[in-house]
Amino acid sequence: MNKAEIREKEIMALLRVSGKVSVAEAMALLDVSESTVRRLFCKLETEGSVIRTYRGISIGAVPGTRESYSFERNELYRSNEKMQIGEAAEALIEEGDTLYLDSGTTVLKLCRAIAQKCVAADGKGAEKYATVTVFTNSLANLNLLKDYMNVCLIGGEFRPHRQDFCGYLTDEVIKRLHFSKCFVGADGFSVKGGLTASDFDTARINQLVVAASDRRILLADTSKAGKASVIHYAPIDSVDTLVTNKWLTSEVKAEILMANINIIEA
């Protein structure tokens, strides 16, 4: 076994214990330079052994398992683009709204945008949010918004890897609610394939939410455009507005506009 193989073995052994390793930790463990660590991380990511994160790596999950979704990892992916989408979506909220906010990481950026706007208002909350009620199944959304407005957490079976609740109880509560607006995400969207999700629970929740809302707003970056995940949960024209970033292809954009969907490019 050569020196490079030994380093890989040591890093993977640490990953199996801690779940993630920073650049600094790897430098100390292997006694090598930062550039050597980054080359090693890049090689492991290319092989599919790890997931690159900010200043480090996390262990890759087995495809198709519940652990294959990582809330933390997804929040870091295209983070700046998602934040721009969230800021654009925040402008769509009005006084008196009853909102549903789903548990995806792009909708979480909307929650961050709301919280930042409230903090900028000297900690008293933006005036319009005094009359806004939020329903969500997401603990992350709740933690960001609870100090600024009325937030109702919808319970059920807790999913640690998604920081949310799902299942029969969640579905039954949503069936009894009505929302003026919902903000939902998708793992893929297209005119032909509609809105898709990667797991049945999330698909069912979003299907119910879309049906219970007066105005339905999809938040999705352009990497989701034209893609279809495993489960179709709604046709594309079930949403009124798509908030995305500015790199939507002209072909996809034309198809979406033909479906009478408003597009907001952040």
- 207 and 173 fall within a common domain: yes
Please indicate, yes or no, if residue 69 is contained in any of the structural domains: no
Q: Are strands 56-59 and 50-53 parallel, antiparallel or unpaired?
A: antiparallel
Contacts for 183 with CB less than 8 Å, ≥ 6 apart: 89, 99, 100, 101, 102, 107, 110, 217, 219
Same domain, 48 and 107: no
- What domain count does the chain have? 2
Other beta carbons within 10 Å of 35: 8
Q: Is residue 55 part of a domain?
A: yes
Would you say residue 35 lies in a domain? yes
Q: Do residues 133 and 206 both lie within one domain? A: yes
Task: Write out the E strands in the chain.
Answer: 20-22, 50-53, 56-59, 98-101, 133-136, 150-153, 157-159, 164-166, 179-184, 188-190, 194-197, 213-219, 231-234, 241-244, 262-265
Is 103 a domain residue? yes
- Residue 224, both tokens: 């989701």
Identity of the residue numbered 198: S
User: What CATH number does residue 249 fall under?
Assistant: 3.40.50.1360
Rounded to an integer, what distance in angstroms lies between the CA atom of residue 50 and that of residue 60? 4
Q: Does residue 71 fall inside a structural domain? A: no
Same domain, 222 and 133: yes
H helices within 19-68, ranges in order? 23-30, 34-46
> At residue 43, does pLDDT exceed 90?
no
What digits encode the pLDDT tens for the residues 80-90?
889 999 999 99
Give the residue numbers spanning the domain of 29: 3-63
Indicate whether 212 and 124 sit together in one domain. yes
Q: What is the pLDDT of residue 69?
A: 47
Whether 209 and 106 share a structural domain:
yes
Cα distance between residue 155 and residue 170, in whole Å: 6
Does residue 231 lie in a domain region? yes
Is residue 175 in some structural domain? Answer: yes
Look at residue 68 and tell me if it is in a domain. no
Q: Looking at this protein, which amino acid is placed at residue 165?
A: F
Q: What is the pLDDT of residues 178-192, one digit of tens each?
A: 999 999 999 999 999
Contact 46, 8 (CB under 8 A): no
How do residues 112-168 score in pLDDT, each as one tens digit? Answer: 999 988 888 665 557 889 999 999 999 999 999 998 999 999 999 998 878 899 999
pLDDT of 67 over the 70 cut: no
pTM over 0.85: no
